[in-house]
Amino acid sequence: MDKTARIFVAGHRGMVGSALVRRLQADGYIHVLTRTHAELDLLDQAAVRRFFSDERIDAVLLAAARVGGILANATQPADFIYQNLAIETNVIHAAYEAGVTRLVFFGSSCIYPKTCPQPIEETYLLSSPLEPTNEPYAIAKIAGLKMCEAYNRQYGTKFVALMPTNLYGPNDNYDLRTSHVLPALIRKAHEAKLHGDNVLTVWGTGSPRREFLHVDDLADATVFVLEREVTGGLLNVGVGTDLSICEIAHQVAQVVGFDGQIVFDTSKPDGTPRKLLDVSRLAGMGWRARIGLREGIETTYREFVARFDKEREHALPGWR
Beta carbons within 10 angstroms of residue 243's beta carbon: 15
Single-letter amino acid code for the residue at 202: V
Is 24 part of a structural domain of the chain? yes
Is 12 part of a structural domain of the chain? yes
Rg of the Cα atoms in the chain: 19
Is-contact 191 41, C-beta < 8 A?
Answer: no
pTM of the model: 0.92
Question: In which domain, by residue range, is 185 found?
Answer: 6-311
DSSP string, 191-235: HHHHTT-SEEEEES-S--EE-EEEHHHHHHHHHHHHHTT--SEEE
Is 318 part of a structural domain of the chain? no
Is 276 part of a structural domain of the chain? yes
* CATH of residue 177: 3.40.50.720
Is 289 part of a structural domain of the chain? yes
Per-residue pLDDT tens for 168-197? 999 998 888 778 899 999 999 999 999 999
Is 317 part of a structural domain of the chain? no
Beta carbons within 10 angstroms of residue 2's beta carbon: 9
How many structural domains are present in the chain?
Answer: 1
Is 292 part of a structural domain of the chain? yes
Active site residue 151: no
Residue 223: pLDDT band by 50, 70, 90 thresholds? Answer: very high
Number of residues assigned to the chain: 320
What is the Cα–Cα distance from 304 to 316, expressed in whole angstroms? 11
Per-residue pLDDT tens for 13-60? 999 999 999 999 999 999 999 999 999 999 999 999 999 999 999 999
The pLDDT of residue 154 is above 80: yes
Q: Which of 137, 151, 174, 301 is catalytic?
A: 137
Phi/psi of residue 241, nearest 5 degrees: -135, 155
